[in-house]
Chains A and B, each alone.
Chain A
């Protein structure tokens, strides 16, 4: 009950304040119009420009973990755009590995414990944009970029952290200046000895993402 009363008052105050702000804005506009338009110009400096070089977002998809079937994947991404062509990004993702064909068919003892099946990774990558535009109709145009990334990081799987190289490609569609949707593919390459001999494994991720520039 108390919270309801509180939120009611909060609502009332906010509306009151916004109406007041409206009224003020109206007044100012009309006064300006009467006296002289464009009386005061705001000068440009470094601090009063909204700079949007960072991009943050979430992604979700499927990762095919070599020998351990495919699993759903969720992750987060932070990107810094150095210039129109290059960017650097940090990714973190996690998934839960499934079972190997052997485990499924033999019905025997599992290779990994539940905890060891937790698959998580991070990587730091350098990316390169091929900027472009897409025309859904003559007046419905969005900026976009096809990008390629290469990076290094670590994958925790099977109880160990493994040095991982990642190579990826993606497509960024900017629905507004600051909101983008992504679709991408990335190969996470690391050495693993989980099912016997050490070998290089390729773990391919497909994902969809959404990011905000800030």
Chain B
């Protein structure tokens, strides 16, 4: 028992030392002053101004706000716009990307969610995409559609082609495949309905709009074909509106 406590205390000391040793990046103020606020939002009051020539350490970032510490130990929040007016140790202006359209064009991943209607029934989806080239992305998605008579869940693996990646609003096309599981409502199980799993093919057309910062809005129409064992395949239509964030 004792040894465990010693191990724990040792670990805590290690972490503390590691923290104390951490050297934060620093920038120098070249404008007459910059405002420091009590919190990471425009509405928080300015309680201190750091003057021209002062060096400030950047402790952390939250959305587009930076927590900074002056040499005298004052801590407060500075906006990205003000931080851009500072310089590095070699006198170069500080450059930090804030989800801009150009950073969107260089994204690697997208994560998002959407809601819509699958054959008149509310549906919800989550998706993640890996952006392979500026035009092509590979996407995995999972959706759930909840109706009065049945519940459908489907997973899709698809490829999208964005036709005009350099436009803020651009159409895109989708081709993919997956599986759909349709489960009748509990009250219908007694009447002989049963859960079915079918392969699924999907084609889609949509529009994506780069909204601001790291937000993208997507509107899409999908045509889904469930390959059933019955004589006819089942065709489903889905409309959806969603958003994505990118990294």
Using a CB–CB distance below 8 Å, which chain A residues touch chain B? 4-5, 7-8, 10-15, 17-18, 21-22, 25, 38, 41-46, 48-53, 80-85, 88, 116, 124, 129, 131-133, 141, 143, 152-154, 158-163, 177, 191, 193, 198, 213
Given A4, A80, A163, which contacts B122 in the complex, CB threshold below 8 Å?
A163
A52-B62, A124-B113, A131-B41 known; A44-B124 Cβ under 8 A: no
**Assembled-state Cα–Cα distance A8/B9 (Å):** 12
CB contact list, B140-164 vs A, under 8 A: 144, 146, 148, 151
Given B5, B6, B66, B88, which contacts A49 in the complex, CB threshold below 8 Å?
B66
Q: How far is the CB of A79 from chain B (nearest CB, A)?
A: 12
Using a CB–CB distance below 8 Å, which chain B residues touch chain A? 3-11, 13-14, 17-18, 20-21, 23-27, 38-44, 55, 58-67, 88-90, 94, 96-97, 113, 115, 121-122, 124, 126, 144, 146, 148, 151, 185-187, 213-215, 243, 245
**Assembled-state Cα–Cα distance A128/B185 (Å):** 35
Is A42 a contact of B23 with CB atoms below 8 Å?
yes
**Assembled-state Cα–Cα distance A83/B214 (Å):** 9
Q: Which residue of B lies closest to A193 (CB)?
A: B187
| Contacts beyond the supplied A11-B5, A21-B21, A161-B146: 5 A-B pairs with Cβ under 8 Å | A25-B21, A48-B25, A131-B44, A159-B186, A163-B121
Is B14 a contact of A10 with CB atoms below 8 Å?
no
Is B3 a contact of A154 with CB atoms below 8 Å?
no
Q: Which residue of B lies closest to A8 (CB)?
A: B3
**Assembled-state Cα–Cα distance A198/B187 (Å):** 12
**Assembled-state Cα–Cα distance A15/B213 (Å):** 45
Which chain B positions have C-beta within 8 A of A153? 124
Q: How far is the CB of B4 from chain A (nearest CB, A)?
A: 5
Given B6, B14, B26, which contacts A12 in the complex, CB threshold below 8 Å?
B6
